[in-house]
């Protein structure tokens, strides 16, 4: 299982990678669960990313195809290109057009020089988010040709992933998504203990922000905290073997 660490600036990239992050995620935590960084900040993060480390990019919650095209402008001219890239899209604002927006992103991504893998984001607290249910998002991802699905929390003050979904249900959803051929990532206000628990599930990636920072989600990524999360992840994987 790989560890994804969200950074909000190039200054945090070094600590994330030195601590053991397998994937660096560009996200602005003060503007929502999938807040996008500016184009300039994204360029700086890409410049600070070591060769071979994949880059994940949050695109926010586009409500229609026009909004999606605006969000995708972040990728234009991105240089240097990372070894691999993912783009994450939330569907809470798209309403009945969620599947169309996701399909449009898959098409746009396939035609950009970066050719990022598309990850559809589902929310454990989907009712509060006004988003499709997790099983619906997984189905949409499989139907539209997205590479993967992320199950996260929308309200970062409303409890972690396990607060919203019990472990047996989470295990079942994860297994079903993987059986559909999807890359599966889990996140959602996870503590070190939460990361260890996720490591025992059949997921591919676990994502963190707040637990990797001094000062919480809006704080600063710490190499030491990332290292502790990486160690917890290893312990969880070993326990599930």
Give the CB-side neighbour count of residue 20, counting CA atoms within 13 A: 18
Catalytic residue check, 230: no
CA distance 206 to 222: 17
% helix / strand / coil in the chain, to the nearest 5?
45, 20, 35
41 bridge partner residues: none
Catalytic residue check, 156: no
Q: How far apart are the first and last CA of the chain?
A: 12
Given the residues 27, 63, 156, 230, the one annotated as active site:
27
CA distances from 83 to 6, 121, 152 (A): 17, 22, 25
206 bridge partner residues: 3, 186
Beta strands 23-26 and 2-7, pairing class:
parallel
- Please report which helix (H) or strand (E) contains residue 89, including its range: strand 85-90
* Contact between residue 61 and residue 33 where contact means Cβ atoms under 8 Å apart: no
Distance of CA 221 to the CA centre of its chain: 16
Could you give the residue numbers annotated as active site? 27, 88
């Amino acid at each position: 299982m790989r560890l994804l660490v969200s950074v909000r600036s190039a200054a945090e990239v070094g600590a994330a990678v030195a601590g053991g992050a397998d994937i660096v995620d560009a996200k602005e935590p003060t503007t929502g669960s999938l807040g996008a960084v500016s184009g300039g900040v994204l360029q700086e993060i890409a410049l600070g990313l070591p060769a071979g480390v994949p880059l994940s990019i949050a695109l926010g919650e586009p409500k229609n195809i026009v909004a999606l095209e605006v969000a995708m402008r972040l990728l234009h001219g991105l240089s240097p290109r990372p070894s691999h890239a993912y783009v994450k899209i939330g569907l809470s604002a798209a309403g009945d057009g969620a599947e169309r927006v996701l399909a449009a992103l898959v098409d746009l991504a396939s035609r950009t020089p970066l050719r990022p893998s598309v990850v559809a984001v589902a929310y454990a607290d989907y009712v509060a988010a006004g988003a499709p249910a997790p099983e619906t998002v997984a189905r949409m991802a499989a139907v539209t040709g997205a590479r993967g699905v992320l199950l996260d929390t929308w309200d970062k003050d409303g409890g972690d992933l396990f607060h919203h979904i019990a472990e047996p249900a989470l295990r079942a959803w994860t297994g079903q998504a993987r059986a559909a051929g999807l890359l599966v990532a889990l996140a959602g206000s996870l503590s070190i203990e939460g990361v260890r628990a996720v490591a025992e599930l059949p997921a591919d990636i676990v994502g963190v922000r707040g637990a990797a920072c001094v000062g919480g989600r809006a704080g600063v990524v710490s190499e030491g905290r990332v290292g502790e999360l990486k160690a917890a992840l290893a312990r969880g994987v070993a326990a599930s073997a």
